[in-house]
Structure 1
Amino acid sequence: MGIVLKKSHKFFILFLIAILYSCNSNIEFTEYKTMQDSSWKSQEKISFIFDVSDTIQPKNLFINIRNNYNYPFSNLYVITELKAPNGDKVIDTLQYAMTDAKGNFLGDGFADVIENKLFYKEQIKFAKGGEYQFNIRHAMRKNGQVNPISNLEGIQDIGFSIENNN
């Protein structure tokens, strides 16, 4: 015995599918890496490999961080590297705010996971098509210390995404 849907129900279901698809149609690439024990090791370089075919339309690149309430800092320092198919590299040291002035975590979340979508590059046009690599590692240190924090607690996932700039 099958389920028979009225014409209006079929339309509604198709409408929902179209809405859900259109919400994410700007995303060209997205990938996450899960940190073991919600801890990002100081020498752990996280890598994402992606292909670029469109060198005309500008793109927005994002670093996506999922943290929990064990994250002990109000900011996050990272060192990034974007490697082009011809071997050219762009290396940046970046700082992102993770909490407001009162210590409340920024970003969106539910339960104990907070998702931060952080701008990396805005309206970038890739010079060449081909395989690119994005690398990121944390550069967090305690005040007055030279050595990086060996295990940055509270970082659950690190992601990278590319979106069309419409």
Structure 2
Amino acid sequence: MGKASVFFLFLALLIFSACDEARVFDQYRSIPGGQWQRDSIVEFRFEAPDTLKNYNLFINLRNNSNYDFSNIYLITELNFPNGKVISDTLQYEMAAPSGEWLGTGFGDVKESKLWYKENVRFTEAGEYLVTVQQAMRRRDSITGIQNLDGITEVGFRIEDIKQQQ
């Protein structure tokens, strides 16, 4: 690699990182075969960021055209280092009434950045665990969908509130 190539690579990395100053934690987990099994729990482990600052938390989903629904139900848990657990059942819109995906992206794959928790302070030092599980079911059905097609990746993101403004 020549000096010019190294310079442009460094410049691109610098520009990319400067555009995302709010990011504190951002990870994705692939869903094997694009079929999210009902009992499959996606986990994200992270060390507590600054315990004196507040953060916004997001769940990110990537879906393709195999996703047959306009919304999604998720069960989440936020596990604190001392054993405290906060569980939530969440519902998000994935498509407009016209059928157009609400996420961003080109082509077949769309990414949705979904609000999870706002203005959160991690008051305990140590390792936290966030889990995400799909909780979809068909209308008039008691049992959940065993294999949810079309979700290709699940992500979790922490953003610094001050950097968002």
Please indicate, yes or no, whether the TM-score normalized by the shorter chain is above 0.5: yes
Q: Which has the larger radius of gyration?
A: 1
Consecutive unaligned residues in structure 1, runs of 5 or more = none
Indicate yes or no: 2:15 matched with 1:19: yes
Paired residue for 1:162? 158
- 8 Å Cα contact 1:53-1:130 kept in structure 2: no
Give the match for residue 70 of structure 2. 74
Matches within 5 A, 1:8-157: 17-157=13-153
Identity of aligned residues (%): 42
Paired letter, 2:149: E
Aligned partners of 1:17, 1:25: CA distance in 2, in Å? 13
* Matches of 1:160 and 1:15, distance apart in 2: 27
Q: What SS class does the counterpart of residue 153 from structure 2 fall into?
A: strand
State the 1:15 CA deviation.
Answer: 6.3
Residue 139 of structure 2: SS of its match in structure 1? coil
Aligned residue identity for 2:155:
G
Cα distance in 1 between the residues matched to 2:40 and 2:4 = 53
Shift of residue 98, structure 1, vs aligned partner? 0.2
Deviation readout 1:111-133 (Å, 9 max, x if unpaired): 11000000101111112121000
Aligned length: 160
Give unpaired runs (5+ residues) of structure 2.
none
SS at match of 1:19: helix
